[in-house]
Chains A and B, each alone.
Chain A
Amino acid sequence: MSATTAEGRKFRKTSLHSQRLWALWGSYAALAVFVVIFLVPPFYTVITSLKSSAEISAQSGSPWMVNHPTLENFWYLITYPNFQTYYLNSAMITVVTVAVSMTISVMAAFSLSRMGFWGSQTLSTGVFLTYLVPPSLLFIPLFQIVGWMGLINNIWCLALLYPTLAVPFCTWIMIGYFSSIPKELDEAALIDGASYVQILLKIFIPVAMPGIIAATIFAFTVAWGAFLYPLAYLYTSNQMVLTVGIISDLIRGDVFQWGKIMAACLLASLPPIVIYAFLMDYYVAGLTAGATKG
Chain B
Amino acid sequence: MAIGASRGQSMRRFASRKSTTAFLLCLPLILLVGCFVVYPAFYAIYLSMLNKKMTAFVGLGNFAFLLKRHTFQLVIFQSCLFAITAVVLKAFFGFILAHLMHNIPGTTQKIWRGLLLVPWVIPLALSTLTWWWMFDPSYSAFNWVLNQFGLDNVPWLGVGWIARLCTITVNVWFGTPFFMIMYLAALKSVPEQLYEAASIDGANARQKLFFVTLPMMRNIISITVLFSLIVTFADFDIVRILTSGGPQDQTHVFATYAFQIGIQSGDIPLGAADSLFMFPILAFAAFFVLRGVTQRTKEIAA
Contact = CB atoms under 8 A, between A and B. Distances in A.
Interface of A: 1-2, 4-5, 8-9, 23-24, 26-28, 30-31, 34-35, 37-42, 44-45, 48, 56, 59, 62-64, 103-105, 107-108, 110-112, 115-118, 120, 123, 125-130, 132-145, 160-161, 163-164, 167-168, 171, 196, 221, 224-225, 227-228, 231-232, 242-244, 246-247, 256, 258, 261-262, 265, 268-269, 272-273, 276-277, 280-281, 284, 287-288, 291-294
A148 to B, nearest CB: 11
B86 interface: no
B290 interface: yes
A120 B237 CA distance: 35
A110 B25 contact: yes
Contacts, number: 307
A143 B268 contact: yes
A218 to B, nearest CB: 12
Contact of B26 (A64, A111, A129): A111
Interface stretch (B4-12, B64-72, B158-166, B182-190): B182-190
Interface of B: 18-23, 25-26, 28-30, 32-33, 36-37, 39-41, 43-44, 47, 93, 96-97, 99-101, 103-105, 110, 112-119, 121-127, 129-131, 133-134, 136, 139, 141, 144-145, 173, 176-177, 181-182, 185-186, 189, 204-206, 209, 220, 223-224, 227, 230-231, 233-237, 240-241, 254-255, 258-259, 262-263, 268, 271-272, 275-276, 278-279, 282, 285-286, 289-290, 293, 296-297, 300
Given A34-B116, A276-B117, A292-B296, A231 B240 contact: yes
Given A35-B116, A291-B182, A227 B125 contact: yes
Main secondary structure of the interface of A (DSSP, over half): helix
A35 B205 CA distance: 25
B123 A104 contact: no
Nearest to B181: A284
Nearest to A38: B119
Contact of A269 (B126, B241, B262): B126
22 contacts: A5-B205, A9-B204, A31-B97, A35-B115, A41-B130, A41-B131, A41-B173, A107-B29, A115-B22, A118-B19, A123-B29, A128-B293, A134-B234, A137-B282, A140-B263, A141-B40, A227-B124, A227-B125, A265-B130, A287-B181, A291-B223, A292-B296
B121 to A, nearest CB: 5
A44 B275 contact: no
User: Among B93, B117, B123, B279, which residue has the most Cβ atoms of chain A within 10 A?
Assistant: B123
Contacts of B234: 134-137
A134 B256 CA distance: 13
A265 B254 contact: no
A127 B26 CA distance: 11
Nearest to A244: B125
Contact of A27 (B33, B100, B124): B100
Residue from A5, A196, A265, A272 having most chain B Cβ neighbours under 10 A = A265
Contact of A265 (B37, B129, B220): B129
A137 B241 contact: no
A115 B25 contact: yes
A232 B259 contact: yes
Contacts of B104: 24, 27-28, 31
Contact of B47 (A23, A31, A39, A140): A140
Contacts of B113: 280, 284
A242 B275 CA distance: 26
B8 to A, nearest CB: 19
A140 B29 contact: no
B297 A144 contact: no
Contacts of B276: 137
B150 to A, nearest CB: 16
Given A137-B282, A261-B133, A42 B122 contact: yes
A224 B282 CA distance: 25
Nearest to B210: A1
A140 B230 CA distance: 18
Nearest to A43: B130
Contacts of B300: 292-293
Given A111-B25, A115-B18, 19 more contacts: A5-B205, A39-B118, A41-B134, A107-B26, A120-B22, A123-B29, A132-B227, A132-B230, A140-B268, A143-B262, A143-B263, A221-B123, A228-B259, A258-B133, A261-B133, A273-B118, A284-B185, A287-B181, A288-B182
B130 A44 contact: yes
A34 B141 CA distance: 19
B43 A268 contact: no
Contacts of B255: 134, 136, 228
Nearest to A57: B139
B231 A134 contact: yes
Contact of B130 (A45, A145, A231): A45
A63 B141 contact: yes
A115 B185 CA distance: 30
A257 to B, nearest CB: 11
Nearest to A265: B126
Nearest to B262: A140
Nearest to A258: B133
A132 B33 contact: no
A167 to B, nearest CB: 6
Contacts of A126: 33
A247 B145 CA distance: 27
Given A34-B116, A140-B44, A107 B121 contact: no
